Structure 1
Amino acid sequence: MSSYEVELPDLAAMESFAGRIAERLRAGDALALSGSLGTGKTTLARFILRFLGQSGEIPSPTFTIVELYEALRIPAVHADFYRLETPDELEEIGLDDYRQGAVLLAEWPERAGGFTHESGCLSVTLDFTEEGRVASVEGNSDWLERLP
């Protein structure tokens, strides 16, 4: 696994970063979005969904846990695992069924047991800085070759 950081001083920078990720997503990929409350996980996911072709509302999946977007360039599953007590609850939710042929945008992935063991996982951890935010990006060599 290799890693690097991306400075995100404003929403325009976050949108540009999301565009670079969205252009390179493939069916079966997982984007693990970590960071404390308010760092921009949902905002980044919304930008990515827009780049994939979502034109309508993009609600936060905080209470529904999973939101599906099937009519995009690549179908997408936007999940927020904040409310999970244990990773075993994923089976009850049926996450694997939703993921067939789709990309997964996973907020709070650590509460779902993580996805870094998957070959198509890109981990992005958002954090606050004095200048805005920073994204710590970590992925396998395949992902890092895709992302400039």
Structure 2
Amino acid sequence: MDQMAPLCIFLPSEEATTALGAWFAKRAQIGDTLLLSGPIGAGKSHFARAFIRARLGRAEDVPSPSFTLVQTYQADVEIWHSDLYRLSHPDEVLELGLEEAFSTAICLVEWPDRLGKFVPKQAIWIGFASKAEGRMAEIRFTDRGALRADLVEDWVR
């Protein structure tokens, strides 16, 4: 399926980024992969922490997987949070088990450019960039048209 037009959402505060993470957490399904891109400090990890805590339904310590590369959480479904910044070659994705997790869990992937040919075809891309006192999230879907429509209804003004 061709990619749908991207949605741009201004997030004026950390609370808004938390709310967006929680919004996605309530709607994500097994097999969903959210690819989180942007420079260091743009909000990728903040979004992932908010997503994981909302899906778990509790305040949980959610460390950055910068050094472990992958952290997993058991909610109603398994959640994989990965930070691929330190990967030197896309084939290392196989060693992490991510390729299988893309179909059996919900995956949040920071630095998705490191995936190379292993990018899931139906992934949801969320790019973060600083803007004014907040950040801008550009969200691209290749599937899940109903989810995109819900996002437009709830967030795009």
Q: TM-score over 0.5 for the alignment?
A: yes
What is the match of residue 66 of structure 2? Answer: 62
- 1:74-85 to structure 2, matched below 5 A, reads 74-85=77-88
**What TM-score do the two structures reach when normalised by structure 1?**
0.90
Contact 1:6 1:134 in 2 (8 A): yes
Deviates most, 19-28 or 60-69? 19-28
RMSD: 1.8
Higher-helix-fraction structure = 2
Correspondence list, 1:1-148, <5 A: 1=3, 2-53=5-56, 55-70=59-74, 72-113=75-116, 117-119=120-122, 121-142=123-144, 143-148=147-152
Corresponding residue SS for 1:87? coil
Q: Where does structure 1 lack aligned partners over 5 or more consecutive residues?
A: none
One-letter amino acid of the counterpart of residue 130, structure 2? F
Aligned-residue sequence identity (percent) comes to: 33
Runs (4 or more) in structure 1 with deviation over 6 Å come to none
Q: CA deviation at 1:84?
A: 0.5
Tell me if structure 2 keeps the 8 A contact 1:62–1:83: yes
Q: Distance in 1 between matches of 2:109 and 2:97?
A: 14
Q: Give ranges in structure 2 of 5+ residues lacking alignment.
A: 153-157
1:9-60 Cα offsets, whole Å, 9 max, x none, are 1011111111211111000100000000110100100000011015331110
